[in-house]
Amino acid sequence: MEYGEVVHRRRMVRNYDPDRPVPDEVVDRLLGYAVHAPSAGFSQGWGFLVLEEPGDRQAFWTATTPEGMAETNWSQGMRRAPLIVVPHSNRDVYLERYAEPDKGWTDRLESHWPVPYWHIDAGFASLLMMLGAVDEGLGACFFGIMPASVPGYRKAFDVPDAYTPIGAITIGYRAKDRRSPSLRRGRRDVAEVTHRGRWGVGY
């Protein structure tokens, strides 16, 4: 599939065929795409929890689904996904990397960073997996894990404190899906969000 087609076909898929597992070789390719994401200082401070077994996936939903959400149509469709990948960021890897001689922030202060690149880089890796899923004929959806659910999630899967789940990605073969009502807002045009030379100068 051409890159432009992959980009235009990508959307959040919220319902999956539970009877079609993602082949092992495809899972390996998606994770291979993830580790080719850019990272500040080539720190690569990410970690990916891969959940394929039914019991593991059920444990994930039990730990992360807010009360009352399990019965919603959105949740039911997402729960049918045969694969869940949880991308994590590790701030400490970045602080240590930038204390090395070629970077030189020996005090390891987070305040040196204009934005938390550890989260951004894990997001880059997530998007590469999602685009790879489209190229493989799959659907995917990135969604958040609510802060109140994170301790239970950590306990369920022995996730070290140093790793922060930035969200989760369901992946699988698409089933009949309801398009998000948010799409009625329409996609903002390039000219609406682009400024040339200085802010306020149109595209």
Smallest CA-to-CA distance from 149 within 89, 85, 67, 72 is with 67
Name the pLDDT band for 166 (thresholds 50, 70, 90): very high
Is a pLDDT exceeding 70 seen at residue 115?
yes
This prediction has a pTM of 0.91
- Going through the chain in order, the beta strands assigned E by DSSP cover 46-51, 83-89, 139-143, 164-165, 168-172
Percentage above 70 pLDDT, the chain = 96
How much is the average pLDDT of 180-201?
83
Residue 184 is predicted with a pLDDT of: 76
pLDDT in tens, 145-160: 999 999 999 999 999 9
Residue 70 is predicted with a pLDDT of: 64
Is a pLDDT exceeding 80 seen at residue 102?
yes
Assign 201 to helix, strand or coil: coil
Q: Are 143 and 20 in contact (CB under 8 A)?
A: no
What six digits make up the tokens of 175? 């089933």
Q: Counting runs of H as helices and runs of E as strands, what totals does the chain give?
A: 8, 5
Is a pLDDT exceeding 90 seen at residue 7?
no
Percentage above 90 pLDDT, the chain = 72
Residue 39 is predicted with a pLDDT of: 98
Of the listed ranges 77-81, 115-119, 167-171, 185-189, the one predicted with least confidence: 185-189
Mean pLDDT over all residues of the chain? 92
pLDDT in tens, 17-74: 999 999 999 999 999 999 999 999 999 999 999 999 999 999 999 999 987 766 666 6
Name the pLDDT band for 188 (thresholds 50, 70, 90): confident
What six digits make up the tokens of 9? 């076909």
Smallest CA-to-CA distance from 26 within 137, 150, 188, 182 is with 137
Domains located in the chain, CATH noted? 3-193 (3.40.109.10)
